[in-house]
A = this chain, B = another copy of it.
Amino acid sequence: MTDASPPTAPRTARERARAELTREIVDTARTHLAADGAAGLSLRAVARDLGMVSSAVYRYFPSRDDLLTRLIIDAYDALGDAAETAEAEVRRTDLRGRWMAIAHGARDWALAHPQEWSLIYGSPVPGYVAPADTIGPASRTTTLLITILADLQAQGGVSDPQKVGRLVRAAMTPIRAAVPEQVPDDLIVRGLMAWTELIGTISLEINGQFHNVIDDMSEYFDHVMNRIAGVLELG
């Protein structure tokens, strides 16, 4: 590796123009996504906004789904960024603070970009299968949570680790590979449940399922996430 620049550094004017236009396409597509949602994302409309003909866009994205995939990856990355920067501002020893920062960071980002949130945690478009490129950015947020679990275990873990049945333990084989060995099964389950509650609460709020249920979602969210922190015994 003698070159530290990105894999495809724009050398010629053409390559630079291509990179530029690709960015513009993605940007206006994201604008349309925010306005009309994934279902209303039209390649032709994007082309119109950019003053080009619709077929020209196909030189940059072979299909609408590929454009959507790009938006999904970007969304995962933006969410990961939001969670990471929020968590970075908290003392490493303050596990509860780190959890709360991630939770609030994720929610704030979701409220600011509801359509992009729905893109990654909402119902998948049928016939559309998430390409392998998405799993990297997708795991950024969960990695943060796993690190908290590991740090928690390093400082003594949970007080009453529940025993996990044999079959459940077997079912957890895949996630086991992504979590440090020292973290016991019980803690992984609590972590998964916390993650589910986090994603679930945000999704239900975004989908309006809390209408006529909770008035002040910020207050409720903070309360619930603090309770979760209690279940995880984050101090």
Interface residues of A, Cβ cutoff 8 Å to B: 36-40, 115, 118-119, 121-127, 130, 135, 162, 164-165, 167-168, 170-175, 189, 192-193, 196-197, 199-201, 203-204, 206-209, 212-217, 219-220, 223-224, 227, 231
Contact = CB atoms under 8 A, between A and B. Distances in A.
Contact of A220 (B124, B171, B206): B171
What is the copy number of this chain in the assembly? 2
B199 A204 contact: yes
A29 to B, nearest CB: 15
Chain A residues touching B, majority SS: helix
Contact of A213 (B119, B122, B175): B175
Q: What 10 A-B pairs come out closest when comparing CB atoms? A: A200-B200, A122-B123, A37-B126, A118-B123, A171-B216, A171-B219, A196-B200, A168-B223, A175-B213, A167-B219
Given A39-B125, A122-B123, A165-B223, A196 B207 contact: no
